[in-house]
């Protein structure tokens, strides 16, 4: 076959090896990216209501780009800092447990 093959997007861009350098394991990367993707999704949901509780995307986004892809690009750019989660001192919302 001749011609050019388009480079696939998604998990291959940014490269997974670069993303794993931001966290201590692939499992923490999944949790880290999914929490940020939920925040981005909530931000877009709140735009129409005028409530801006969450921070929007920190990188330039494209039309129809999924929140998880945006979160992975933010992590790869070094715009976010991961903090270890200790279930004994924090609840699921990130607030300290009384």
- Report if residue 25 sits inside a domain: yes
Q: Report residue 90's pLDDT band, with 50, 70 and 90 as the boundaries.
A: low
- Report if residue 96 sits inside a domain: no
Q: How many angstroms separate the CA atoms of 57 and 85, rounded?
A: 23
- Report if residue 35 sits inside a domain: yes
Domain count along the chain: 1
Q: Report residue 83's pLDDT band, with 50, 70 and 90 as the boundaries.
A: confident
Mean pLDDT confidence for 33-44: 93
Q: How many angstroms separate the CA atoms of 47 and 50, rounded?
A: 5
Which residue range forms the structural domain that includes residue 26? 16-77
- Report if residue 87 sits inside a domain: no
Q: Is the dihedral of CA 40, 18, 27, 80 positive or negative?
A: negative
Q: How many angstroms separate the CA atoms of 39 and 55, rounded?
A: 7
């Amino acid at each position: 076959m001749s011609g050019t093959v388009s480079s696939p997007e998604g998990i291959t861009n940014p490269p997974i090896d670069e993303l794993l350098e931001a966290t201590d394991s692939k499992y923490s990367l999944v949790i880290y990216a999914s929490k940020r993707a939920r925040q981005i999704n909530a931000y877009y949901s709140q735009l129409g209501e005028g409530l801006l509780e969450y921070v929007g995307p920190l990188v330039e986004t494209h039309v129809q780009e999924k929140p998880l892809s945006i979160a992975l690009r933010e992590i790869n750019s070094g715009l976010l800092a991961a903090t270890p989660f200790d279930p004994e001192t924090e609840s699921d919302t990130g607030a300290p447990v009384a």
